[in-house]
Amino acid sequence: MRLAYLSIAVALGLASPAAAWLAPNSLTVTDQGGGRFEVHSRGGLSNPDAFCAAGDYAVQQLNLVPTARIWRVSPPPRRSGEGIVFSTSPEGAAPKTGLFMFGTDDGSVSVAFAQQMCDRMRLRVK
């Protein structure tokens, strides 16, 4: 099914097949090099949606462990239609995640926390 979505995205010119990855939540992620990757926008993209895709990308494509951290590079709030860039390094990170957080928000979350955003989305759909 993911291959079908990726084929459609490529056919529409939204991404090249070598650089694009389709997250389970149907968001397209592209490698930006240097440990950076972008979750591309679509109508109604929320911060939790983007973190969900980023967490899945980190595990499935970058082979990061759940305790590894990912940083948001694009500072919140983002403009309509803009994607969100993430990084595996704190270099150039935004000061905040854009998520509602208890405690300190240094612009990063663990990969496991990012993937928990996917669980939040599944609960919202039911």
- Amino acid 79: pLDDT: 87
- Amino acid 124: pLDDT: 52
Please write the tens of the pLDDT for every residue from 56-110.
999 999 999 999 999 999 999 988 889 999 999 999 999 999 999 999 999 999 9
Tokens of 61: 């494509």
Encoded amino acid at 98, one letter? G
- Amino acid 44: pLDDT: 82
Q: Which residues, 6+ apart, have CB-to-CB distance to 12 below 8 Å?
A: none
The residue extents of the domains of the chain are 32-125
Of 2-6, 30-34, 85-89, 120-124, the poorest mean pLDDT is in 2-6
Q: What is the largest CA-CA distance in the chain?
A: 44
- Amino acid 18: pLDDT: 52
pLDDT-derived band at 2, boundaries 50, 70, 90: low
- The answer to whether residue 40 scores a pLDDT higher than 50 is yes
Across residues 19-26, what is the average pLDDT?
91
Q: Tokens 């990757």 appear where?
A: 37
CA dihedral 50, 55, 56, 60 (to 10 degrees): 140
Q: What is the DSSP string of 40-103?
A: PP-TT--HHHHHHHHHHHHHHTT---TT-EEEE-SPSSPPTT--EEEESS-TT--S--SS--SS
pTM metric for this prediction: 0.81
